[in-house]
Structure 1
């Protein structure tokens, strides 16, 4: 599956230069609403701080394992990945209720990695291609600053944004040269969780 995805991305990179007819990236009203209502979801390698009122012996800081679970002093294998801190607190209250009378739990997140499905990826001719943790109200400019901008070989104005909308994969054109080199802020667009930016090489 990973090899198939990689092969598909390589094909997309190779074909980006010919996709100037793609629609420009925009944000729909429903997407704007999802950004405004965005809540951080816990993911593998996050650290979560669990405080159980009047029960310090079962409180503590825990690192989420790669399988998305944590182990506490009373309960093993609590699934936490993909939940908000509040959802996790209510879940732990239910679990601890088997051992403690009416537990009151507060959860906070110490380090922020997030689920892989929500990370934003930049591949191709970026200075430092990588997966970046999504942050509420993140824009294309924020993302490009984090990956160090473009290489000298990048065809930034032929870059493609891949986004899943209503279960369907869609492609949009983004003008990175205009944004980064020309300072054209109108080329800046909002980024959503799970977006992929593909920056092709300029062959000419």
Structure 2
């Protein structure tokens, strides 16, 4: 009974904090893989409902040419497009909507209920990854979570999940990128170099071999 109650409380707490973080005023930042729907009122020939942001972070739009969309909010891209099109169209009324959010593949391992690879959509951060993996187990050391970024495997980022859950410390809700690994350690003593790094290295080796097929 205690185990069930503890798991229920943990799941509820995680859900509440996911909602809290998702409701923060920071707008969604566009990135490669996002699919945009862009229209200019009164100009059907300028409409594009499936404009994909390229890997270089740019989009090409008629008359406006190429713009760097990566890192912008939809509102900021709307402003940039309006300024560009204003050279050719009188008072352009531009709308930019996200037709489909990009997905980010991450691995969630260690003391979670459903370890594995997950695709995150829209929000790409620690809480979303842990939530997708069924939350943490009762053995998880919530003060010592490692986030291993694919481009910097030897220097893991240490995160204190308790600060995020109990104190609302948003700085602990680390942003995740394609191929990153979230590793929840156990309450027992653990050393990253000997206990965690071999797992991470093995995952990236398998992933690399898969991409070569």
The answer to whether structure 1 residue 78 and structure 2 residue 87 are counterparts is: no
- Structure 1 residue 51 displacement after superposition: 1.2
Deviation readout 1:44-83 (Å, 9 max, x if unpaired): 1111111101111011121111111111233332211111
Structure-1 residue corresponding to 2:11: none
TM-score (norm 1): 0.55
Higher relative contact order (CA 8 A, sep 6+): 1
The CA deviation string for residues 109-160 of structure 1, in whole angstroms up to 9 with x for no partner, is: 111128xxxx795543251144634539x883x5323134569xx9522641
Which residue in 2 is equivalent to 1:199? 184
CA contact (8 A) 1:44 1:66 kept: yes
RMSD: 4.2
Match of 1:55 among 43, 67, 71: 43
- C-alpha contact 2:35 2:53 (8 A) present in aligned 1: yes
Q: Indicate which of 106, 112, 115 corresponds to 2:101.
A: 112
- Cα distance, 1:79–1:124 mapped onto 2, change above 3 Å: same
Q: Larger % of strand: which?
A: 2
* Unpaired runs of at least 5, structure 2: 1-19, 148-155, 191-213
Distance 1:85 1:187 in 2: 30
User: How far apart in 1 are the matches of 2:173 and 2:79?
Assistant: 27
Please say if residues 122 and 147 of structure 1, whose CA atoms lie closer than 8 Å, have aligned partners that are also in contact.
Answer: no
Which ranges of structure 1 fall in alignment gaps of 5 or more residues?
A: 1-31, 163-168, 176-184
Q: 2:140 aligns with which of 151, 156, 173?
A: 156
Figure out how many residues of one structure are paired with residues of the other and give that number.
150
